[in-house]
A and B are shown apart, each in its own frame.
Chain A
């Protein structure tokens, strides 16, 4: 009896050990490149850490940020970008997915490829193209609007249009993955459900609201959370198109992190900005899981 128990325990132990050995490479990378930098970021945020300085200053970096008008403006801009861009990305992706999922394989693949292309293209290349589109004096957008008699607009130089110009670029680079996922997800909905509803004379709107939308909830949750997190971290487009201007109207928190850390060498302040952003993302992700997760149907 005792020997059997011992043998069984050895077996469990060996299985446990082998499982963790398989996990070890991924776990090591996670600890080294994700967990450790995160904890280090929290640690650094309590220090005045510049090129030649490393002094503990407690919560001073956080106090400074909450009194810093440019940081508050950047946080407002970031939240505005998220609240505008994420719903538009979701709506546009579902619209495209609903439009193309019934088409033949070639058409589906073509459109998936077209919309996914910006996701795999370098952000630098994309912004260079958009910069030339938005250019005030020689840009194609102003040329097109001038054909309708409109005056040229400094799309990136006008405080009223710059943020929306950034959001437009952001949307084009963000819809690729959601479209692919939605097309796959919509294609997996059993046609018998939809056919049954059609027999009961349900309208297209009713079919979408009562059948397709609930069946898409697991995909929705994933896409909303991931798109929200990615949008909160908007940086490259801002850096390359506007450098946060004009008048900080397009500055985002991540751009601020870059500016403080890499341009000014103030790593403590930049870490504190990153921590505040992480907390905001954490709260919003929690709310999304809390309220959207409960509607998920598997």
Chain B
């Protein structure tokens, strides 16, 4: 009996080891395949018209839900695409902004990434730098390339390869509850009579003070530092109040740690004490602040855009008119707005047929005669194409188009960005909780972030070798 037990134990052990070896083997393959340089594939037009192909599309809620049903509009796109391309089956999987990024990381690491994704440069460029995406240059015509601003191409390109097909955009801005200012008779404190709506830090402070004095039930403005979601709002707010870039122009170092930006951060802390900024902002997330804005409890929110305005339309819990505004600047200079940029990318899953089919799908989503514009409108955003304007009969969209002149290059394409942004909100928390001055916190952020950028560059160099 004991001998049999030993044999059984031995069999189980061998099975276990075999399973481990098998898994390790497959994993090594994964790593190898993913670190390989992306193979150049034939232009989509040259691919043989042959077998049916199935591709998988993971999509964040980039398009507004049709009839309140998430994914219904995407299914409509697929149905229309299939009328022209019956041989390509598109499997849709809707993911959320909350859990989607984590799900994607796991899928990529376990070699089960989707074929297609509609996302933003923050993640896409990182995947591109890691060699996980198929280049899209062969599907970009000269007409399209010349019709899109170089700033957008910069955010869609890794080295000399285009890894994201840019589709929609909108500058991130602030928003104000205009109705409150009408009620308190202080509309003249907002820069709405200026076509570009630009304004100064001092003008902004006066507007906040007016809300505090004349609308005691309303919190003048929001700020947040709980977590990294929506961090472009806090970044751009500080960068404009302190007239400083976030990173330097070649993305090698942090540039926000200036005296002015430090003072702006100190002002936020004081403003929280003076009830001009919401209390407890260290524990609030961007979504919490926007929720309060949509409930009519907040006069200004700092993380808004034409796209968010459209997406939040059904979430408004109070009747009021929201108006987009650029961030105020210390000296009245032109604001610098980080753009939201949405586009599609293809994961290189080592299947030429799937890559070719995915390119056809991207081309349909972006450039179809009927669905091209329809899709843009459904995102609530503007077209990245200079030639496509006037999609909406809405003064806020007209303003958002005008505000494109203030768009700056965002820091999201820096090396090691995923790590860099993890240092941002803990430093904001330190300041908000009185553990550091604004300048001290920004210097500490700069030290950590600079190291992360340097390490990421060094690691990328090592992997190239």
A residues whose Cβ falls under 8 Å from a Cβ of B: 12-13, 16, 20, 31-32, 35-36, 39-40, 43, 49-54, 136-138, 152, 154, 156-159, 162, 242-243, 245-248, 258-259, 261-265, 267
CB distance from B274 to the nearest CB of A (A): 15
Residues of A within 8 A of B198 (CB): none
Are B279 and A137 within 8 A (Cβ)? yes
Residues of A within 8 A of B130 (CB): 50-52
Contact of A265 among B109, B281, B284 (CB under 8 A): B109
Residues of A within 8 A of B19 (CB): 31-32, 36
Closest 8 CB pairs of A and B: A157-B283, A54-B31, A136-B280, A262-B102, A154-B280, A52-B130, A243-B227, A157-B280
Binary per-residue interface labels of chain B (277-305) against chain A in the complex, 1 for a CB within 8 Å, 0 otherwise: 01111111100000000000100000000
Are B16 and A242 within 8 A (Cβ)? no
Are B418 and A265 within 8 A (Cβ)? yes
Contact of B109 among A13, A49, A258 (CB under 8 A): A49
Binds A, one of B159-167, B257-265, B419-427: B419-427
Q: Does B337 contact A (CB under 8 A)?
A: no
Q: Please name 4 further chain A to chain B contacts, defined as beta carbons within 8 Å, in addition to the given A52-B34, A137-B279, A138-B297, sorted by A numbering.
A: A39-B16, A50-B109, A248-B426, A262-B106
Are A246 and B127 within 8 A (Cβ)? no
Contact of B105 among A36, A159, A265 (CB under 8 A): A265
Smallest CB gap from B31: residue in A: A54
CB distance from B117 to the nearest CB of A (A): 14
CB distance from A57 to the nearest CB of B (A): 12
Q: Does B454 contact A (CB under 8 A)?
A: no
Smallest CB gap from B29: residue in A: A54
Are A247 and B283 within 8 A (Cβ)? no
Contact of A52 among B8, B35, B106, B281 (CB under 8 A): B35
A283 to B284, CA, bound (A): 37
B residues whose Cβ falls under 8 Å from a Cβ of A: 1, 4, 8, 12, 15-16, 19-20, 23-24, 27-28, 30-31, 34-35, 101-102, 105-106, 108-109, 127, 130-132, 219, 225-227, 278-285, 297, 418-419, 422, 425-426, 429-430, 432-433, 435, 463
Are A52 and B101 within 8 A (Cβ)? no
What number of residue pairs across chains A and B have CB atoms under 8 A from each other?
115
- The answer to whether residues A31 and B16 also contact, given A49-B109, A154-B282, A265-B108 and a CB cut-off of 8 A, is yes
Provide the main secondary structure of the chain B interface. Answer: helix
Residues of A within 8 A of B23 (CB): 36, 40
Are A246 and B429 within 8 A (Cβ)? yes
CB distance from B103 to the nearest CB of A (A): 8
Contact of A54 among B30, B282, B430 (CB under 8 A): B30
Residues of B within 8 A of A242 (CB): 226, 283
A31 to B106, CA, bound (A): 22
Residues of A within 8 A of B4 (CB): 13, 16
| 16 A/B residue pairs, CB under 8 Å, sorted by A | A12-B1, A36-B23, A40-B20, A51-B132, A52-B34, A53-B31, A136-B279, A137-B219, A242-B283, A243-B226, A245-B425, A245-B429, A247-B426, A247-B429, A258-B102, A267-B109
Residues of B within 8 A of A54 (CB): 27-28, 30-31
Are A52 and B422 within 8 A (Cβ)? no
- The answer to whether residues A35 and B16 also contact, given A245-B429, A265-B105 and a CB cut-off of 8 A, is yes
Smallest CB gap from A258: residue in B: B102
Smallest CB gap from A262: residue in B: B102
A51 to B463, CA, bound (A): 13
A139 to B1, CA, bound (A): 66
A76 to B425, CA, bound (A): 21
Residues of B within 8 A of A264 (CB): 418-419, 422
A154 to B105, CA, bound (A): 34
CB distance from A100 to the nearest CB of B (A): 37
A154 to B19, CA, bound (A): 50
Smallest CB gap from A12: residue in B: B1
Smallest CB gap from A13: residue in B: B4
Are A52 and B283 within 8 A (Cβ)? no
A158 to B283, CA, bound (A): 8
Are A246 and B433 within 8 A (Cβ)? yes
Are A51 and B283 within 8 A (Cβ)? no
Are B283 and A156 within 8 A (Cβ)? yes
Contact of B426 among A13, A245, A261, A262 (CB under 8 A): A245
A54 to B418, CA, bound (A): 19
CB distance from B315 to the nearest CB of A (A): 16
A247 to B434, CA, bound (A): 11
CB distance from A231 to the nearest CB of B (A): 23
- The answer to whether residues A51 and B127 also contact, given A40-B23, A262-B106, A265-B418 and a CB cut-off of 8 A, is yes
CB distance from A257 to the nearest CB of B (A): 12
- The answer to whether residues A51 and B282 also contact, given A12-B1, A31-B15, A248-B426 and a CB cut-off of 8 A, is no
